[in-house]
């Protein structure tokens, strides 16, 4: 698909600085920009690429003041990150509309209620009494159990497993081989040293506009629901245990794990490989750096933590300076 600078500016509510007829047909990172591509610049560390970049169009913030000549046509916007996301959404939606994947290609469905223009790929199974919303696309080799509710305009990629009774909102994306609704890790120790399985009778409830990465598992609750709030983004290879609640618009990076019955607030950030202990509460707007080990509740909003056990970010930096000094003296 080809777009001109003036068309892009209209889509993302920007202004053109340069040639409004400059056209592109692909996206590229700013360090790899070449003719026919569009890039974006938002991080000051990458400013030198703006002057070296061969891309035809670069999206920049309104506040950007070039220190050297810029060869590319610039489209100025309030927020370059948000603008490139908006443009990618627009282009992706256009491509999907061209594919015209409609109707059913699998015979493995029973009393399911399908909305308008649902796509169901080969070898996918949808159980009894399940409801699938309008324009949802279920790729090949997907398992969806009985009594599942899936909203409109969702994308379920190949290999996803959704256990019976799960509830999924609108505009949800679930990537390949994710598992929604597996039993949680619940076992009762017995006097003879063995363990007895505790049956899980609850479900998983996923809000609107959620994205769940490949290979991630969200366990169903023992009772009640494991809850993933609206707008939550979970990366690949994460573990969300039973009875966990994750607040709206929280983001969780790859290989992070949250133990059972923990409540994560809204607008929180968990870096890669963060581990969160069970039965604790994390306040809204809390951030944890990569590989943090969270052992206790966080009651005050807006704090940043790092380390294992996780401590406030500034305290960690002071401690690290002491560690380095001690190491140097040996």
Q: 3-class SS at 53?
A: coil
How many alpha carbons fall within 13 Å on the CB side of residue 171?
Answer: 10
The yes-or-no answer on residue 267 being catalytic is: no
CA distance 39 to 271: 26
Burial of 106 (0-12, 13-18, 19+ CB in 10 A): middle
CA distance 315 to 111: 58
Of the candidates 253, 251, 254, 277, the residue with the CA atom closest to the CA atom of residue 265: 251
Task: Kindly calculate the radius of gyration of the chain based on its CA atoms and give it in whole angstroms.
Answer: 24
CA distance 134 to 151: 7
CA distance 41 to 230: 28
CA distance 51 to 48: 6
**Catalytic one of 101, 175, 200, 242:** 242
Q: What is the DSSP string of 169-205?
A: -SS-EE-TT-EEEEPPS-EEE-TTS-EEEPP---EEE
Tokens standing for residue 94: 């256009």
Tokens standing for residue 29: 């990172």
Which residues are identified as catalytic?
A: 242
């Amino acid at each position: 698909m080809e777009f001109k600078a003036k068309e892009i500016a209209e889509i993302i509510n920007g202004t053109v600085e340069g040639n409004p007829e400059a056209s592109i047909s692909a996206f590229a990172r700013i360090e790899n920009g070449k003719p026919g591509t569009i890039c974006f610049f938002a991080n000051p560390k990458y400013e030198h690429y703006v002057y070296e970049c061969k891309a035809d169009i670069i999206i920049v913030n309104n506040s950007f003041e070039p220190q050297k000549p810029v060869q590319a046509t610039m489209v100025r916007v309030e927020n370059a990150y948000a603008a490139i996301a908006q443009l990618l959404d627009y282009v992706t939606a256009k491509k999907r509309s061209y594919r015209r994947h409609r109707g059913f290609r699998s015979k493995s469905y029973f009393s399911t209620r399908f909305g308008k223009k649902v796509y169901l790929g080969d070898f996918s199974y949808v159980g009894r009494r399940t409801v699938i919303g309008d324009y949802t696309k279920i790729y090949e080799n997907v398992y969806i159990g009985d009594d599942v509710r899936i909203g409109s305009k969702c994308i379920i990629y190949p290999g996803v497993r959704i256990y019976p009774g799960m509830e999924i909102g609108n505009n949800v994306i679930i990537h390949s081989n994710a598992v929604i609704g597996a039993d949680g890790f619940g076992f009762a120790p017995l006097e003879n040293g063995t363990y007895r399985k505790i049956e899980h009778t609850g479900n998983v409830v996923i809000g609107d506009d959620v994205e769940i990465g490949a290979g991630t598992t969200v366990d169903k609750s023992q009772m009640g629901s494991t809850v993933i709030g609206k707008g939550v983004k979970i990366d690949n290879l994460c573990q969300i245990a039973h009875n966990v609640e994750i607040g709206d618009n929280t983001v969780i990076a790859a290989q992070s794990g949250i133990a059972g019955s923990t409540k994560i607030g809204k607008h929180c950030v968990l870096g890669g490989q963060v581990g969160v202990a069970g039965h604790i509460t994390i306040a809204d707007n809390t951030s944890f750096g990569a590989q943090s080990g969270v052992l206790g509740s966080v009651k005050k909003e807006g704090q940043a933590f790092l380390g294992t056990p996780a401590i406030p970010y500034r305290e960690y930096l002071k401690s690290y300076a002491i560690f380095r000094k001690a190491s140097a003296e040996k």
